[in-house]
Amino acid sequence: MNSNTEKRIALISVHGDPAIEIGKEEAGGQNVYVREVGKALAQLGWQVDMFSRKVSPEQETIVQHSPLCRTIRLTAGPEEFIPRDNGFKYLPEFVQQLLQFQRENHIMYPLVHTNYWLSSWVGMQLKAIQGSSQVHTYHSLGAVKYKAVDTIPLIATKRLAVEKQVLETAERIVATSPQEQQHMRSLVSAKGYIDVIPCGTDIAKFGSVDKQTARAELGIAQDAKVVLYVGRFDPRKGIETLVRAINESQLRDSGKLKLIIGGGFTPGNSDGRERDRIASIVEELGMSEFTTLPGRLSQDILPAYYAAADVCVVPSHYEPFGLVAIEAMASGTPVVASDVGGLQFTVVPEKTGLLVPPKDVAAFCVAIDRILMNPQWCDELGQTGRKHIEAMFSWGGVADRLSELYTQILATKLPERALVSQ
Ligand code: UDP
């Protein structure tokens, strides 16, 4: 292997395109993770190719992010949006296209880092066909997700089997929190190798603007009490809990309260329907005067929104990691979050924010009010949160740890590579 191929990696994210706009249906944390990890790895000297499925003929086939980092869109199935639960049947074509790309460009990826279960299947094929080593990040576990939803999709059996297989056969699984690791062990399999390497955030971008400037920029009164939600419109995100909690706030009729619910949607799609449902609850409860739904917030404007807020609320029913919580803390804003999954790992109760039981309207209300009604404590929580993120959750730090892991796997000679026996 020459030094070039040694530092070459493919990040595979079939349905989570790292080069598209974030914050709409099925485009959230995974897209951000892949893009930011890719860019940070390139800064460490890795040649990073990120593979995704092309979902429109207008999309560029190759997007160059930096000299060593690019997104490559492969045509597999129709060039249109396909919900992820319907994507499995296009994977064999995705594998063929990736192999063809390798042939045409005289590349062979000795290591692939796959994201979400669909991509894990692609990685397992590449391992079988050409001996590529595999690192995998789940982003979401079927075994956890299906416990929380009313209707189990047809693809569930396949997904659960693939998720078990990759845990048992990949060179390494990257869990983004100890809580996720525990779920893998208790719900998926006792076999396989897991490292905990968290998600990160851009600590230069988030935290770059102070509260006063941000409020002036966004036209928000300096004495307002601002509660912020950022994320996709998905019932799993628990936005209804937040709205009902604010309805019970002691500050509800103070004239100072402002609720901002940021997130993109497509009318008629599932996120559009959830957005309409939330908007109608807001109206029903008579909260329209102090509630805004500004739509998708671009990554450029987001630092101002986080900085302008007194508290950022993450009311998810479940969250494997939860990038929004660390983005808010990096911006010096306290977080009130559901006491679940990765949020238990990132939010330090009473130090950087508060954790409350998911779906518990009264508990969210009390926690939000505690922070809003004590401005000095609010500032302290914010400052501690910023330091916490600087110390533990920068993309640079995450990429350092992934780079070390990849190097270690690539240095292991093939016959010695630890494949757990089935
Ligand atoms: N996001 C955004 N604009 C929006 C809503 C969300 O850029 O209007 C981004 C947000 O900043 C975060 C990601 O989408 O980086 C959401 O990631 P998270 O892990 O919180 O949730 P997921 O979408 O993965 O469930």
Q: How far is the CA of 299 from the centre of ligand 1 (A)?
A: 9
pLDDT digits (tens, 9 = 90+) for 225-250: 999 999 999 999 999 999 999 999 99
64-88 mean pLDDT = 96
pLDDT over 80 at 126, yes or no: yes
Q: What share of the chain is helix, strand, coil (3-state, %, to 5)?
A: 45, 15, 35
Residue 353 confidence (pLDDT):
98
Confidence grade of residue 148 (pLDDT, cut at 50, 70, 90): confident
Confidence grade of residue 128 (pLDDT, cut at 50, 70, 90): very high
Mutate to test the pocket of ligand 1, among 302, 305, 331 (most ligand atoms within 8 A of CB): 302
Question: How far is the C-alpha of 308 from the C-alpha of 356, rounded, in Å?
Answer: 23
330-358 mean pLDDT = 97
Residue 413 confidence (pLDDT):
54
Instruction: Give, to the nearest 10 degrees, the angle between helix 91-105 and helix 116-130.
Output: 50
Going by alpha carbons, the residue nearest to atom 11 of ligand 1 is: 324
pLDDT over 90 at 27, yes or no: no
Q: How far is the CA of 189 from the centre of ligand 1 (A)?
A: 29
Residue 1 confidence (pLDDT):
43
pLDDT digits (tens, 9 = 90+) for 253-274: 999 999 999 999 999 888 999 9
Give the nearest ligand 1 atom to 327 CA.
11
Going by alpha carbons, the residue nearest to atom 14 of ligand 1 is: 28
Residue 25 confidence (pLDDT):
57
58 vs 24: which has the higher pLDDT:
58
37 vs 20: which has the higher pLDDT:
37
4 vs 94: which has the higher pLDDT:
94
> CA separation (Å) from 77 to 14, 61, 80, 89, 110?
12, 15, 8, 8, 26
pLDDT over 90 at 149, yes or no: no
pLDDT over 50 at 420, yes or no: no
Confidence grade of residue 145 (pLDDT, cut at 50, 70, 90): confident
Tokens of 41: 């790895």
Length of the chain: 422
Residue 26 confidence (pLDDT):
63
Q: How far is the CA of 99 from the centre of ligand 1 (A)?
A: 31
Residue 24 confidence (pLDDT):
61
Of 341, 355, 420, the closest CA to residue 183 belongs to 341
CB neighbours of residue 373 within 10 Å: 13
CB neighbours of residue 119 within 10 Å: 31
pLDDT digits (tens, 9 = 90+) for 277-289: 999 999 999 999 9
Contacts 24+ apart (CB under 8 A), 64-70: 65/18, 65/19, 65/35, 65/38, 65/39, 66/39, 66/42, 67/42, 68/42, 69/38, 69/39, 69/41, 69/42
Q: How far is the CA of 393 from the centre of ligand 1 (A)?
A: 16
The mean pLDDT value of the chain amounts to 94
Q: Which strands sit side by side in the sheet containing 311-314, from one edge to the other?
A: 291-295, 257-262, 225-230, 311-314, 335-338, 353-356
Residue 412 confidence (pLDDT):
87
List, in order of start, the domains of the chain with CATH numbers. Answer: 3-200+394-421 (3.40.50.2000), 211-392 (3.40.50.2000)
Of 337, 138, 369, the closest CA to residue 249 belongs to 369
Going by alpha carbons, the residue nearest to atom 2 of ligand 1 is: 23
Exposed/middle/buried for 173, CB within 10 Å: 0-12, 13-18, 19+? buried
Residue 415 confidence (pLDDT):
45
Do the strands 47-53 and 194-196 form a parallel or antiparallel pair, or are they unpaired?
unpaired
Residue 21 confidence (pLDDT):
75
Going by alpha carbons, the residue nearest to atom 9 of ligand 1 is: 23
Q: What is the pTM of this model?
A: 0.88
Q: How far is the CA of 93 from the centre of ligand 1 (A)?
A: 29
Of 148, 167, 326, the closest CA to residue 231 belongs to 326
291-315 mean pLDDT = 97
Q: How far is the CA of 329 from the centre of ligand 1 (A)?
A: 14
211 vs 21: which has the higher pLDDT:
211
Of 91, 76, 12, the closest CA to residue 49 belongs to 12
**Contacts (Cβ under 8 Å, ≥6 apart) of 115:** 11, 12, 13, 16, 30, 33, 34, 136, 137, 139
Q: Which residues line ligand 1 (CB under 6 A)?
A: 22-23, 28-30, 32, 230-232, 262-264, 296-297, 299, 302, 321-324, 327
For 196, the enclosing helix (H) or strand (E) is: strand 194-196
Residue 418 confidence (pLDDT):
42
For 386, the enclosing helix (H) or strand (E) is: helix 375-392
Question: How far is the C-alpha of 258 from the C-alpha of 215, rounded, in Å?
Answer: 12
